[in-house]
Amino acid sequence: MTLGIIFGSKSFEHEISIVSAITMKKVLKNTLEYIFIDQHRDFYHIPASKINSKLFSSGEYKKYDKLQISQGGFFKSSLFGQKKLDIDTILNLTHGGDGEDGVLASLFEFFNIPFIGPRNTACVVSCDKYITKQYASSINVKTLPCEYFHKDDKVSVEKYPVIIKPTKLGSSIGVSIVKSADELDYALDVAFEYDDTIIIEPFINGVKEYNLAGAKIGNNEIQFSIIEEPQKEEFLDFEKKYMDFNRTQQVLKANISDELISQLKDNFIKVYNNTFDGSLIRCDFFVIDDEVYLNEINPIPGSMANYLFDDFNTLINQISKYLPKQKDIKIDYTYVNQIQSAKGK
User: Domain for residue 91, yes or no?
Assistant: yes
d(CA 159, CA 181) in angstroms, rounded, equals 9
| Short-list 247, 210, 212, 255, CA closest to 229 | 210
Q: How far, in Å, CA of 199 to CA of 174, rounded?
A: 11
Final residue in a domain of this structure, among 158, 174, 202: 202
Are 116 and 324 within 8 A, CB to CB? no
Structure confidence at residue 246 (pLDDT):
59
Domain count of the fold of the chain: 3
29 and 178 inside one domain? no
d(CA 297, CA 314): 23
Tell me whether the omega of the peptide bond preceding residue 161 falls within 30 degrees of 0, making it cis.
yes
Per-residue confidence (pLDDT) for residue 248, from 0 to 100: 65
Inside any domain, residue 159: yes
**Does residue 175 sit in the same domain as residue 269?**
no
Do residues 193 and 249 both lie within one domain?
Answer: no
- CA gap 272, 216 in Å, rounded: 8
In a domain, 343, yes or no: no
Report if residue 160 sits inside a domain: yes
Which residue range is the domain that position 183 belongs to? 147-202
Residue 312 sits in a domain of what CATH number?
Answer: 3.30.470.20
Q: Which long-range contacts (CB under 8 A, 24 or more apart) does 265-272 make?
A: 265/212, 265/224, 267/141, 267/292, 267/294, 268/212, 268/214, 268/222, 268/224, 269/222, 270/139, 270/140, 270/141, 271/136, 271/139, 271/141, 271/297, 272/214, 272/216, 272/222
CATH number of the domain enclosing 106? 3.40.50.20
Instruction: Give residue 247's pLDDT.
Output: 67
Per DSSP, the three-state class of 318 is: helix
Residue 3: closest CA among 117, 100, 101, 83 = 117
Mean pLDDT by 10 residues, the chain (345 residues): 96 93 95 97 96 93 96 90 94 94 96 97 95 97 96 93 89 87 94 93 92 92 95 54 58 92 98 96 96 96 94 96 90 88 72
